[in-house]
A and B are shown apart, each in its own frame.
Chain A
């Protein structure tokens, strides 16, 4: 395998998603680098969330290929995988723009559900677990330790046994990221993690995301409107408008790109060309 393939975690090729006559994403290609934070930005309705939905198995893309490569060199074609397998085998997890926690379950339980597969194998598909197999008990303790580690990281250790639904908005956002991390992903997809956060919280989030990248080596794909977050932490930015890629590059390059400015502010056509 070539070096470039090894550096790429997700290779999106010619991704197209149509809903009837509406083309939400049109022939989109980009590469997300391993161990880096890649931001996808664009005006409302540009198709950012649709791209996420294709990657995580929510939608079946109309056309195109989504190739994920693990550090071991193992390949996965995400467009052909079922939703739970994308999380379980390809190890891609995500968060949502409108938070989707298991509201009636405790914060700790939310993080334990995400470690399902780990426990599943250790419990010998339930059978050994029911008879109290020592290996399972060990795995269970590990799972709880990992959950507590992440709760501690997001400052919610004291609220481990509270239902997720009663936590404050910012706490729920962080818990959702922690849940996605508990599944030990190689690629973490965050859909507007800073939405609705105040500037201080957004700053904390930046630090948290950088820590995830630096400490665990997890690659991050990020949709964000909050320009400060994007510019501060992303290594690479992909800009979408009307389902098409209009620019790609480092945050500094993107900031000065006239096409991007046009897409956001809207200018007369001749000025762009």
Chain B
């Protein structure tokens, strides 16, 4: 029971990181119907930018952890958003209106480019960050097993929950969110009532990248290490989460993220940690066979 509770906490932490990345996949898919394969690498870039920002702040003597964390969050979100915007501008927008596979191939190219760019600029070795948020609360102690909720887990769960609520509010009740949903439903029609669709798409990428940056920071803080390749696996997992929840659906991405996090954690805890990726992807295969539209996805309605 204690063991189970501990794994539940770990799974939710990991899941909320996946969920933040999955939102980016699902939003872009919803609005222009393409899978942005470079999104996982945007997540990785966010982590690296955060690492650089942390070290920079330490160098100029900002040592108060909450302040440093806040500043890093802002800086990394802004810079990663710029990366997201740039990727859309140079790799996807020129291909809009081209055949469906073109932006997909371009996305894979962008993903490889970002990985190699970071590998050259930052080196291939794993970069580590000393633990900044330390301390833990003991929730339960049965003598044999201690259930702990660490402070970093609290930071991750609270930050991601707040961001997801904020983001859901934005989509459901602001002008920008309304424009995004209109573009998602009928891009051409949105343009015909005067919505600047290119700008709306750009903003979608910017927001998705900013959320991925937060996920990157949380990943960095949680594991204390990052390398140029983390974006690939994390990206594919988050993509799995988006598909599991129903691609194009925001609550689906959040739910899917949490589920992938939990499945992976429980599988490692009770069976074998070497096969945790197999478990996550087996779920993807099963979902695609039996529920192709995911848990919360709408069935595709053919437009006349």
- Which of these binds chain A: B20-28, B60-68, B186-194, B282-290? B186-194
Tell me if B197 is interfacial: C-beta within 8 Å of chain A.
yes
Q: How far is the CA of A82 from the CA of B190 in the complex (A)?
A: 13
Q: How far is the CA of A114 from the CA of B182 in the complex (A)?
A: 10
How many Å from the CB of A269 to the closest CB on chain B?
Answer: 37
- Which of these binds chain B: A37-45, A118-126, A152-160? A118-126
* B window 180-209: CB within 8 A of A: 181-182, 185-186, 188-197, 203
Contact check: which of A57, A93, A120 meets B193 at CB < 8 Å? A93
Known: A126-B175, A130-B174. A105 touches B181 (CB 8 A): yes
Contact check: which of B179, B188, B196, B304 meets A113 at CB < 8 Å? B179
Tell me if A234 is interfacial: C-beta within 8 Å of chain B.
no
Q: How far is the CA of A94 from the CA of B189 in the complex (A)?
A: 10
Q: How far is the CA of A104 from the CA of B249 in the complex (A)?
A: 13
Q: How far is the CA of A49 from the CA of B270 in the complex (A)?
A: 64
Asked if residues A120 and B175 are in contact (CB atoms below 8 Å), the reply is yes
Interface residues of A (CB under 8 A from B): 56-58, 82-84, 86-88, 93-94, 98, 100, 102-105, 109, 112-114, 116-117, 119-120, 123, 126, 129-130, 140, 179-180, 183
Asked if residues B175 and A117 are in contact (CB atoms below 8 Å), the reply is no
Residues of chain B with a CB closer than 8 A to A104's CB: 181, 185
Across the A-B interface, the 4 shortest Cβ-Cβ residue pairs = A87-B194, A88-B194, A84-B191, A114-B193
Q: How far is the CA of A158 from the CA of B194 in the complex (A)?
A: 27
Known: A113-B195, A120-B175, A129-B175. A83 touches B188 (CB 8 A): yes
Q: How far is the CA of A82 from the CA of B191 in the complex (A)?
A: 9
Q: How far is the CA of A272 from the CA of B196 in the complex (A)?
A: 49
Asked if residues A109 and B178 are in contact (CB atoms below 8 Å), the reply is yes
Asked if residues A88 and B182 are in contact (CB atoms below 8 Å), the reply is no
Q: How far is the CA of A58 from the CA of B97 in the complex (A)?
A: 13
Residues of chain B with a CB closer than 8 A to A120's CB: 175
Q: How far is the CA of A83 from the CA of B233 in the complex (A)?
A: 40
Residues of chain A with a CB closer than 8 A to B189's CB: 100, 102
**Counting chain A CB atoms within 10 Å of each CB, which of B189, B191, B194 scores highest?**
B194
- A sample of 20 cross-chain residue pairs with beta-carbon separation below 8 angstroms, ordered by A number, consists of A56-B192, A57-B191, A82-B191, A84-B192, A84-B197, A86-B192, A87-B192, A93-B194, A98-B304, A102-B182, A102-B189, A105-B178, A109-B178, A113-B182, A113-B195, A114-B194, A117-B194, A126-B174, A183-B193, A183-B194
* B window 150-191: CB within 8 A of A: 174-176, 178-179, 181-182, 185-186, 188-191
